[in-house]
Amino acid sequence: MSYYLLLSALLFAIGLYGVLSRRTAILIFMSIELMLNSANLALVSFARASGDLGGQAMALVVIALAAAEVAVGLGIIVAVYRVRESTSVDDLAEFRG
Amino acid sequence: MLLLLIILLPLLGFAYLGLFGKNLREPLPGIIASALVGVSFLLVLFGLLGGGASWEIKDWLPGIPLSLVLDHLSGYMGLVVTGIGFLIHVYAIGYMHGDEGFSRFFAYLNFFIAMMMTLVLAGSYPVMFIGWEGVGLASFLLIGFWYTEKKNADSARKAFITNRIGDFGFLLGMAILYSTFDTLSIGELREILETSNVLPLSLGLAGFLLFVGAVGKSAQVPLMVWLPDAMAGPTPVSALIHAATMVTAGVYLIARSSFLYVNLQDVSYFIAVIGIITAAYGALSALGQWDIKKIVAYSTISQLGYMFLAVGVGAYWIALFHVMTHAFYKALLFLASGSVIHALGGEQDIRKMGGLKKYLPRTHLHGLAGALSLAGFPLLAGFWSKDAIITATLNYPFGGTGFYIAGLSVAFLTAIYAMRWYALVFLGEYKGSVEPHESPKVMTIPNDILALGAIFAGFLALPEPLWNYVEPFLAPALAHVEVHHMSLGLEWGLITLSAVVALAGLYLGYMAFTRWALPKWYLTFQTWSENAFYVDLVYNTLIINPLKELAAIWGLIDSLLDTGYLALAGVSSWLGEKLAWVQAGYVRVYGALMVLGLVVMLVWGVLR
């Protein structure tokens, strides 16, 4: 049980690091996916430990949500790339206070 | 449906002329507007011949129907409004010729007729109030018709604000009636009041407040100051709104509510006193005016005073009879004045007129008919109605003789100033510089008809034992008042007396303003009268200027408050500026801040 959770925490930390350190939108995106899946892993392992199927159902919802997110996110990235010829998020810093 | 059309036709004219009138060529808007009012007149006539009509939406508001009623009273008033209105519309086609706002003018006039008919046909007080406010708005728009001059715009505002004071009374009166009886339908109220024996105490207050509304609308003392200034509008407006129809709305309101006032002896007495004071004030002020229209305006105030005297002493049908004859001769006087002003290229000072009999033969006849009818020259319309009012005061149990003597004295003054108006404008030598020209036919023909009315309308209701059509016609819609009939000999003696008084006034006026040199005391009086006894000055000193000072003080306090609020706003905008750096625009910064927040929350959660 705790191994699964440790793995989940590790994956989450790697994902978080990726989100914070990468500049390319694609890589940030992949890191976010990693974080989502680490969360899934945690959900599934809790579900199994407590014998409740709710956690597994939640994991399925997260997967469906992630798929939708990928579709929208990639679409945005492609559109931005067409205009800017770059996917670096630091180039997209016009909305500042 | 027919009832709705009476109101909707002029309203349609207003909408059409207001929206598309600019594209129409000159006489067309006038013709459309006149035709619509003419059709309304015919509809009222046919409605009356068909025995009246009514229309309502039940429970428009709880206990308040949206109802219109065409009975003998509203039909009578409606005929006066649309009939005189039609003639004045036609006249205005000539008078407004070449004016930039030609179609706008007719749009406003049609709007006025629509609102006036709403007021007249209303079957419940709130509907009447809609019309009441609507005519106030129309009056405001038309007084300030030539709004580029500040004086006109000021006069329009003055009229509107003064009217609002009265309207407030009307509103409060309605509120009291509603809270007492749970209904504002005039028919239902009448039934309740005529069947119940016990009258609620608040009834007196309600009646008084409704009368305050009438005081504002009908320019009675102390709210009479707006009417003379309202002469800033084009002359047809003065004739239609400020002489023949709108200002008589107050009288109509009291007559409509006669079932209420017949039970309120004290309020009725008050109305009669206000009426006679107003009559005297108007007549005294009319004597000293130099503006051709202002003389007629003050005489309107005076005649309205007579009407209120009549409703005060319970002679409701006589008041309405006077409304009708007054509509004829006063509209005629105004339109004749307008014709004179038109002929002299805008001159209004009677000191620069005189001798116009020679130049304007037709208008001279109109002016003569109007002035004599106003003065109460025997057998003319004004004579019969005014005499009926003065005689009716004698039957009034509370101080009738006093009212009679005062009324007769005012009639004497009326004859003098009517003659002064006529003599200074039409007799003597012409003192102006412009070459006068007679008005076109489109202006003289309506005046011909009005002149016929001013001469013969009185024969509709003659004293006993001769015929009287007006009283039995109006009787079903008015409260029944027991009248103690005086003997025929006395009655006709009094009629002869008032004829003698009118003739004496006319003679004195003629001699004084054409032959004699005026005595010194008269010149002092003249100055006072010219300034309308400085009522405006008194109001300015006592009410308006203190209010202005108060407004200035509040303005100061307001600006202090504003400073405080501005400082407060400054603090938050300073904070905003300082915090703005957080929004760097870098996604990673936002991400890092989120993580930081998450960590803080986790730590806090664990430590707790």
CA-based nearest distance B589→chain A, Å = 8
DSSP 8-state secondary structure symbol assigned to residue B543: I
Find out whether B474 and B72 touch, Cβ atoms under 8 Å.
yes
Contact assignment for B584 to A16 by CB distance below 8 Å: no
Q: What domain range is A37 assigned to? A: 2-86
Q: Which of A12, A14, A16 to mutate to test the interface with B (most CBs of B within 10 A)?
A: A16
What is the C-alpha to C-alpha distance for residues B115 and B241, in angstroms, rounded to an integer?
A: 12
Strands B64-70 and B53-61: antiparallel
Contact assignment for B588 to A97 by CB distance below 8 Å: no
Q: Using a CB–CB cutoff of 8 Å, tell me whether B581 touches chain A.
A: yes
pLDDT of residue B89 exceeding 60, the answer is yes
Give me the phi and psi of B67, to 5 degrees please. Answer: -130, 145
Find out whether B372 and B314 touch, Cβ atoms under 8 Å.
no
Nearest to B95 by CA among B370, B341, B437, B425: B341
Give me the phi and psi of B96, to 5 degrees please. Answer: -90, 10
Q: Which amino acid is at B62?
A: P
Q: What is the mean pLDDT of residues B508-525?
A: 84
- Check residue B367 and give its pLDDT: 93
A91 in any annotated domain:
no
A95 in any annotated domain:
no
Q: Which amino acid is at B285?
A: S
pLDDT tens digits, one per residue of B409-440: 999 999 999 999 999 998 888 887 788 888 88
- Check residue B490 and give its pLDDT: 87
CA-based nearest distance B583→chain A, Å = 5
The answer, yes or no, to whether ipTM is higher than 0.85 is no
CA-based nearest distance A19→chain B, Å = 7
pLDDT tens digits, one per residue of B166-214: 999 999 999 999 998 888 889 888 888 888 877 788 888 999 999 999 9
Q: Which residues neighbour B349 within 8 Å (Cβ) at sequence distance 6 or greater?
A: B290, B291, B292
Q: Using a CB–CB cutoff of 8 Å, tell me whether B586 touches chain A.
A: yes
How big is the A-B interface in CB pairs under 8 Å? 32
DSSP H stretches of helix in B344-380: 356-359, 361-375
Nearest to B417 by CA among B325, B289, B227, B230: B289
Nearest to B301 by CA among B374, B243, B254: B243
Contact assignment for A89 to B584 by CB distance below 8 Å: no
With CA atoms as reference, the chain A residue closest to B581 would be A97
DSSP symbols for B556-606: HHHHHHHHHHHHHHHHHHHHHHHHGGG--S-HHHHHHHHHHHHHHHHHHHH
Number of H helices, E strands in chain B: 26, 2
What is the C-alpha to C-alpha distance for residues B152 and B142, in angstroms, rounded to an integer?
A: 10
User: Tokens standing for B288?
Assistant: 């000293």
The owner of tokens 């419940």 is B124
DSSP symbols for B470-531: HHHHHGGGS------PPPHHHHHHHHHHHHHHHHHHHHHHHHHHHTSPPPHHHHHHHHHHHT
Q: What is the mean pLDDT of residues B14-18?
A: 93
Q: Percentage of chain B with pLDDT > 90?
A: 60
Taking the alpha carbons at both ends of chain A, their separation in whole angstroms is 46
- Residues of A in Cβ contact (< 8 Å) with B583: 95-97
Q: pTM of the full predicted structure?
A: 0.80
What is the C-alpha to C-alpha distance for residues B509 and B8, in angstroms, rounded to an integer?
A: 47
- Check residue B16 and give its pLDDT: 93
- Check residue B358 and give its pLDDT: 85
Nearest to B256 by CA among B481, B477, B3: B477
Find out whether B231 and B161 touch, Cβ atoms under 8 Å.
no
The tally of CA atoms less than 13 A away on the side-chain side of residue B522 is: 9
Nearest to B421 by CA among B245, B271, B238, B287: B287
- Check residue B350 and give its pLDDT: 87
- Check residue B530 and give its pLDDT: 86
With CA atoms as reference, the chain B residue closest to A13 would be B595
The owner of tokens 């180039």 is A91
Q: Using a CB–CB cutoff of 8 Å, tell me whether B578 touches chain A.
A: no
What is the C-alpha to C-alpha distance for residues B21 and B273, in angstroms, rounded to an integer?
A: 47
What is the C-alpha to C-alpha distance for residues A40 and B35, in angstroms, rounded to an integer?
A: 83
Which of B580, B587, B595 is closest, CB to CB, to A16? B595
pLDDT of residue B278 exceeding 70, the answer is yes
pLDDT of residue A90 exceeding 80, the answer is no
A80 in any annotated domain:
yes
- Check residue A97 and give its pLDDT: 57
- Check residue B312 and give its pLDDT: 92
pLDDT tens digits, one per residue of B118-139: 999 999 999 999 999 999 999 9
Go through B378-416 and write b for each residue having 16 or more CB atoms within 10 A of its CB, e for each that does not.
eebbbbbbbbbbbbbbbbbeeeeeebbebbbbbbbbbbb
- CA distances to A16, B22, B26, B35, B116 from B17, rounded to whole Å, are 72, 8, 12, 13, 18
- Check residue A96 and give its pLDDT: 66
Q: Which of residues 16-45 of A touch B (CB under 8 A)?
A: 16, 19-21, 23, 28
CA-based nearest distance B570→chain A, Å = 18
Contact assignment for A93 to B584 by CB distance below 8 Å: yes
pLDDT of residue B521 exceeding 90, the answer is no
pLDDT tens digits, one per residue of B220-273: 988 999 999 999 889 999 999 988 899 999 999 999 999 999 888 899 999 999
- Residues of A in Cβ contact (< 8 Å) with B587: 28, 89, 92
A17 in any annotated domain:
yes
pLDDT tens digits, one per residue of A15-53: 999 988 888 888 988 999 999 999 999 999 999 888 888
Q: Using a CB–CB cutoff of 8 Å, tell me whether A82 touches chain B.
A: no
Contact assignment for B583 to A96 by CB distance below 8 Å: yes
What is the C-alpha to C-alpha distance for residues B319 and B275, in angstroms, rounded to an integer?
A: 11
Tallying the residues shown for chain A, one arrives at: 97
pLDDT tens digits, one per residue of B466-492: 888 888 888 888 888 877 778 888 888
Phi-psi group of B533: left, alpha or beta (phi > 0 → left; psi -120 to 50 → alpha; rest → beta): left
Which of B580, B583, B588 is closest, CB to CB, to A20? B588
Contact assignment for B579 to A97 by CB distance below 8 Å: yes
Contact assignment for B581 to A97 by CB distance below 8 Å: yes
Contact assignment for B583 to A28 by CB distance below 8 Å: no
Split into its structural domains, chain A has a count of 1
Task: Identify the CATH number of the domain in which residue A75 sits.
Answer: 1.10.287.3510
Which of A16, A23, A96 is closest, CB to CB, to B584? A96
- Check residue B560 and give its pLDDT: 95
DSSP 8-state secondary structure symbol assigned to residue B185: B
Confidence bin at B142 (pLDDT 50/70/90): very high
Confidence bin at B304 (pLDDT 50/70/90): very high
A36 in any annotated domain:
yes
Strand, helix or coil for residue B220 = coil
A77 in any annotated domain:
yes
- Residues of A in Cβ contact (< 8 Å) with B588: 19-21, 23, 89-90
CA-based nearest distance A47→chain B, Å = 23
With CA atoms as reference, the chain B residue closest to A25 would be B587
Find out whether A81 and A87 touch, Cβ atoms under 8 Å.
yes
DSSP symbols for B371-437: HHHHHT-TTSHHHHHHHHHHHHHHT-TTTHHHHHHHHHHHHHHHHHHHHHHHHHHHSS----SS---
CB atoms within 10 A of CB B493: 11
- Check residue B160 and give its pLDDT: 93
- Residues of A in Cβ contact (< 8 Å) with B596: none
Which of B582, B586, B595 is closest, CB to CB, to A90? B586
User: Tokens standing for B30?
Assistant: 């006038």
Q: Return the bridge partners of A24, or none.
A: A88
Lowest-confidence region among A35-44, A78-87, B169-178, B580-589: B580-589
Q: Please report, to the nearest 10 degrees, the dihedral formed by the alpha carbons of residues B29, B30, B32, B36 taken in order.
A: 140
Is omega for the bond preceding B10 within 30 degrees of 0, making it cis?
no
Strand, helix or coil for residue A23 = coil
Find out whether B220 and B274 touch, Cβ atoms under 8 Å.
yes
Nearest to B457 by CA among B384, B553, B358, B360: B384
Q: Which residues neighbour B568 within 8 Å (Cβ) at sequence distance 6 or greater?
A: none
Contact assignment for B591 to A20 by CB distance below 8 Å: yes
Per-chain mean pLDDT for chain B = 90
Is omega for the bond preceding B62 within 30 degrees of 0, making it cis?
no
Q: Which of B583, B587, B599 to mutate to test the interface with A (most CBs of A within 10 A)?
A: B587
Q: What is the 3-state secondary structure (H, E, C) of A79-94?
A: HHHHHHCCCEHHHCCC
